[in-house]
Structure 1
């Protein structure tokens, strides 16, 4: 599929075919592509928790919301590790001698993990699948950590449900039903605001 077609087709899918698993080779490609995102200082402070089968059922038991998304056979939870970035930029080739967060104009550990997540979403479309990115609520983070033995320095930035869509092509769901996409002219400014 051409890249422009991937961009055009990318949308959030909320209902999946429950009895159609994601083939292992497709999962491998999704995860491989996720590791190809940019990373400040080549820090590579991302990790990905893959949940299928009973592991996925335990996630949904912890988080009773979700309706149709619960039918997705695969969930990938991107995790960000600030420590990796602070350690990397305290190395001699980066010039900082401390791990002070004040050096960072924005938290690149979240930005880079978000870029990796977008690569997951784009690869899913390229493979003919659908996906839904959703947040893990603050009150669910500690139970999530305990359930899957997630180290304290790994921060989930959300989750991506993946599977074969069980929606008609072109179906509009969620907020796009009631909100129009802002035009390019509204969001792009050349030279000055």
Structure 2
């Protein structure tokens, strides 16, 4: 898929087919996250990849809206150092860039994704085993959509460009 097609095809998927993501595809998706830009090239992320069904089910309980994690083929947890005072926005922006890179690379391979916040950091730490000086910012569940394959969406449910884009001034 071309980049523009991958961007137009990416959508949040919450129901996944019972089909694994090939290891080479998963590695490519992770490499896209690793290559994401970050403020001052700090690359604050570590990725914990979960594919074990029992672990996915437990990980799905770290946030009230994370139920779809349980049915994913794999979920990538984005983990970063607990930010210094006043640096949380920078770290979260960097994690967001890594998350989007993961999701676009996945769409390019026909692999769907979703996203979830993490509310219960202690449970996430128990499930994922990351150190005390880290936190889990986001979960990115991956898999093949249960309903229909990814393909560019011609008429997305989005605000019109004329309503969103302001040139020079608001």
Q: What residue in structure 2 maps to residue 27 of structure 1?
A: 26
1:166-185 equivalences in 2 (<5 Å): 166-169=146-149, 180-185=157-162
User: Offset at 1:148?
Assistant: 2.5
Partner-residue secondary structure (3-state), 1:133? coil
| Equivalent in 149, 156, 163 of residue 143 of structure 2 | 163
Q: What residue in structure 2 maps to residue 116 of structure 1?
A: 98
Partner-residue secondary structure (3-state), 1:162? strand
| Pair 118,22 (structure 1): closer, same or farther in 2 beyond 3 Å | same
| Pair 121,76 (structure 1): closer, same or farther in 2 beyond 3 Å | same
Q: Distance in 2 between matches of 1:21 and 1:154?
A: 29
Q: What residue in structure 1 maps to residue 166 of structure 2?
A: 189
Q: CA RMSD in A?
A: 2.5
Q: Distance in 2 between matches of 1:73 and 1:30?
A: 13
Give the TM-score of the pair, scaled to structure 1: 0.75
User: Offset at 1:147?
Assistant: 2.9
Q: Distance in 1 between matches of 2:26 and 2:136?
A: 19
User: Offset at 1:169?
Assistant: 4.5
Q: What residue in structure 2 maps to residue 97 of structure 1?
A: none
Aligned length: 165
Structure 2: 5+ residue runs without aligned partners?
none
Structure label with greater radius of gyration: 1
CA deviation vs aligned residue, 1:123-175 (integer Å, no higher than 9, x gap) = 110011111111122xx22121123222222221221111111112579xxxx
Contact 2:56 2:71 in 1 (8 A): no
Q: What residue in structure 1 maps to residue 110 of structure 2?
A: 128
Partner-residue secondary structure (3-state), 2:131? coil
Partner-residue secondary structure (3-state), 1:167? coil
Q: What residue in structure 2 maps to residue 143 of structure 1?
A: 123
| Pair 71,147 (structure 1): closer, same or farther in 2 beyond 3 Å | closer
Q: Distance in 2 between matches of 1:62 and 1:7?
A: 28
| Pair 134,61 (structure 1): closer, same or farther in 2 beyond 3 Å | closer
Q: Distance in 2 between matches of 1:41 and 1:13?
A: 32
Give the TM-score of the pair, scaled to structure 2: 0.84
The structure with the greater share of residues assigned to helix is 1
